[in-house]
A and B are shown apart, each in its own frame.
Chain A
Amino acid sequence: MKDLFRGELVRLTHEEPSVRTEAEARWQRDSEFIRLADSDPAGLSSEKKIKERFEKQAEGGPSPERYFFSVRTLAEDRYIGFFGMFVDLIHSEAWVGIAIGEREFWSKGYGTDMMKLCVQYVFTELGVERLSLALHAYNPRALRSYEKCGFRLEGRTRGDMLREGRRTDTLWMGILREEWLGLDTDTAPVE
Chain B
Amino acid sequence: MFDIQTQLFEGQDIRFGPIDHEKDPEIESKWTHDSEFMRLMETGPARPLSAAMIKKQYEKLEKQIEEDKNLYHFMVRAKADDRLIGKATLQWIEWTNGNAHLRLGIGAADDRRKGYGTQALGMLLRFAFAELNLFRLTAIVPEYNEGAVALLQKFGFVQEVCRRKALERDGRRWDLYVFGLLSSEWQERIKR
B19 at the binding interface (Cβ < 8 Å): no
B97 at the binding interface (Cβ < 8 Å): yes
Contact of A130 among B135, B160, B165, B178 (CB under 8 A): B165
Interface residues of B in 141-174 (CB under 8 A from A): 158-168, 173
Contacts of A172 in B (CB 8 A): 161, 163, 178
Docked-complex contact B164 and A160, CB < 8 angstroms: no
Contacts of B159 in A (CB 8 A): 155
Interface residues of B in 94-144 (CB under 8 A from A): 96-99, 135-136, 138
Docked-complex contact A160 and B165, CB < 8 angstroms: no
> How many A-B residue pairs lie within 8 Å, measured between CB atoms?
65
**Which residue of chain A has its CB nearest to the CB of B161?**
A155
Docked-complex contact A162 and B168, CB < 8 angstroms: no
Interface size of A by Cβ–Cβ distance < 8 Å?
Answer: 22
Contacts of A90 in B (CB 8 A): 43-45, 168
Interface size of B by Cβ–Cβ distance < 8 Å?
Answer: 25
Interface residues of B in 38-53 (CB under 8 A from A): 43-45
How distant is the Cα of A155 from the Cα of B158 in the complex, in angstroms?
A: 11
How distant is the Cα of A48 from the Cα of B161 in the complex, in angstroms?
A: 40
How distant is the Cα of A159 from the Cα of B184 in the complex, in angstroms?
A: 12
**Which residue of chain B has its CB nearest to the CB of A168?**
B97
B180 at the binding interface (Cβ < 8 Å): yes
Given that A91-B168, A92-B168 are known contacts, is A132 also in contact with B163, CB under 8 Å in the complex? yes
Contacts of B163 in A (CB 8 A): 132, 154, 172, 174
Docked-complex contact A93 and B166, CB < 8 angstroms: yes
Contacts of A174 in B (CB 8 A): 163-164, 166
Given that A92-B168, A157-B138, A174-B166 are known contacts, is A162 also in contact with B161, CB under 8 Å in the complex? no
Docked-complex contact B166 and A130, CB < 8 angstroms: yes
How distant is the Cα of A154 from the Cα of B135 in the complex, in angstroms?
A: 22
Docked-complex contact B164 and A129, CB < 8 angstroms: no
**Closest approach, in angstroms, between the C-beta of B22 and any C-beta of chain A?**
33
How distant is the Cα of A132 from the Cα of B165 in the complex, in angstroms?
A: 11
B182 at the binding interface (Cβ < 8 Å): yes
Q: Interface of A with B (CB < 8 Å)?
A: 41, 90-93, 129-130, 132, 152, 154-162, 167, 172, 174, 176
Q: What are some 16 contacts across the A-B interface (CB < 8 A)?
A: A91-B43, A91-B167, A129-B165, A132-B163, A154-B163, A155-B159, A155-B160, A155-B161, A156-B160, A156-B161, A157-B160, A157-B178, A158-B180, A159-B136, A172-B163, A174-B164
Q: Interface of B with A (CB < 8 Å)?
A: 43-45, 96-99, 135-136, 138, 158-168, 173, 178, 180, 182
